[in-house]
Amino acid sequence: MSSTSISSCFNKVVREHYIRLPQGDKCQVTYIWIDGTGEGLRNKTRTLDTEPKSIQDIPEWNFDGSSTYQSEGSNSDMYLVPVSMFKDPFTLDPNKLVLCEVFKYNRLPAGTNHRVSCKKVMDQVKEHQIWFGIEQEYTLMGNDGRPFGWPKNGFPAPQGPYYCGVGADKAIGRDIVECHYKACLYAGIKIFGTNAEVLPSQWEFQVGPCEGIEICDQLWVARFLLHRICEDFGVIATLDPKPMTGNWNSSGAHTNVSTKKMREEGGLQYIEQAIEKLSKKHMEHIKVYDAHDGQDNVKRLIGHLETSNLNEFSAGIANRDASIRIPRHVGQQKKGYFEDRRPAANCDPYLVTKAIASTCLLNDDDEVKDN
């Protein structure tokens, strides 16, 4: 079986001719949403008569939820409510990408619409000006089920030369990474940077810092761009937290967190207070830190290969084997941010950031339950 898809063999020069055709005053808007798996992304496109200037200019739409694991066929219409708008790097200006929330026929949030409850928490903690940055790791895979570029009947050299590596035998898939970076910048994603990771064919991009719920919207659209770009190259980007068994690194979504007080002089005391609160709810967080109620992190958080132990909470300065890492410069400057290294690559950022904000900044009586 080929390691790349058939569709990637289409002549992209031919496509470019049609993409560049004038479209008059019309605007293409691609609606993006999270499907019933909580991991998959779906999209469809419609024409608007004029370019929308804000999210309020984009109408609600609907789709067949019975085909996205989100409803029964007898009552399948689901509502798409636009929440965040971006420039479209695939069909170019004035066209847009729009992230949407999904609601059921009765206007209640769909089962995987965790944005509603996340926003309630972020609104409650708004005075703290909480910032997030998320480091999204992923692995490029061929259609043969193995990491892209790996030998068909064997394994590459052991880990060591690949992290931030240079060279054809060390950096596999850089074209995709660079195209994704530019697409994010064009779209308006607050992409911070990117690098090759420890596992060969594994990469990372970082989004943020963003305040409150914006980080979640931005990360989901950045994921969409990644999957969409991989279509053109004929490979698959997987967020599987443990794409290869054995002595190979896993994939996380390390989440950096700070509040206004943490960023100010003497902020380290507030970082330490937050870590103490997180220590008391370790297993509650583990349950929402991957897409399968903590079961993916059972394979990933094994206490080595730069991960903490699933069953033990730990924290330390510059310690990548800890649950929570305080960067060395933060320890020296006594202010800044902390890194929660427990979230898996396939986590829902709405659930992760909601859990962190709730635990660190709300009293137990104030916490907002999902949906």
The pLDDT of 34-57, averaged and rounded, is 97
Q: Assess whether pLDDT exceeds 80 at residue 182.
A: yes
Q: Assess whether pLDDT exceeds 70 at residue 369.
A: no
Q: Provide, rounded to the nearest whole percent, the portion of the chain with pLDDT above 70.
A: 96
Q: How confident is the model at residue 71 (pLDDT cuts 50, 70, 90)?
A: confident
Q: Assess whether pLDDT exceeds 60 at residue 27.
A: yes
Question: How would DSSP label each residue in 258-327?
Answer: E-HHHHSTTTHHHHHHHHHHHHTTHHHHHTTSSTTTTHHHHHH-BSSSS--BTT---EEET-TTSSEEE-
Mean pLDDT of the chain: 94
DSSP conformational letter for 251: -
Overall pTM surpassing 0.85 (yes/no): yes
Q: How confident is the model at residue 3 (pLDDT cuts 50, 70, 90)?
A: low
**pLDDT tens for each residue of 76-130:** 899 999 999 999 999 999 999 999 999 999 999 999 999 999 999 999 999 999 9
Enumerate domains of the chain plus CATH numbers: 7-112 (3.10.20.70), 121-366 (3.30.590.10)
Strand partners, 207: 134, 191
The pLDDT of 127-139, averaged and rounded, is 98
Q: By three-state DSSP, how is residue 67 classified? A: helix
Q: How confident is the model at residue 5 (pLDDT cuts 50, 70, 90)?
A: confident
Tokens linked to 226: 């990644």
Instruction: Give CA–CA dist 74/72, Å, rounded.
Output: 5
User: Cβ contacts of residue 136 below 8 Å, gap of 6+?
Assistant: 204, 205, 206, 207, 219, 222, 223, 239, 253, 345
CA distances from 328 to 228, 308, 317, 335 (A): 37, 18, 6, 11
Q: Assess whether pLDDT exceeds 50 at residue 358.
A: yes
More confident residue, 302 or 86: 86
Q: Assess whether pLDDT exceeds 70 at residue 365.
A: no
CA distances from 212 to 106, 127, 129, 321 (A): 28, 11, 7, 27
Other C-beta atoms closer than 10 Å to the C-beta of 22 total 5
Q: Assess whether pLDDT exceeds 60 at residue 202.
A: yes
Predicted confidence at residue 232, as pLDDT, reads 92
Q: Assess whether pLDDT exceeds 90 at residue 306.
A: no
Q: Assess whether pLDDT exceeds 60 at residue 328.
A: yes
Tokens linked to 192: 């911070």
DSSP conformational letter for 36: T
The pLDDT of 37-63, averaged and rounded, is 97
Q: Provide, rounded to the nearest whole percent, the portion of the chain with pLDDT above 90.
A: 87
- Is residue 36 a contact partner of residue 112, using CB atoms and an 8 Å limit? yes
Q: Assess whether pLDDT exceeds 90 at residue 147.
A: yes
Predicted confidence at residue 4, as pLDDT, reads 65
Strand partners, 237: 140
Instruction: Give CA–CA dist 109/66, Å, rounded.
Output: 16
**pLDDT tens for each residue of 243-279:** 999 899 999 999 999 999 999 999 999 999 999 999 9
Element (H, E) at 132: strand 131-141
The pLDDT of 64-81, averaged and rounded, is 89
- Is residue 187 a contact partner of residue 239, using CB atoms and an 8 Å limit? no
The pLDDT of 46-60, averaged and rounded, is 97
One-letter amino acid of 203: W
More confident residue, 15 or 325: 325
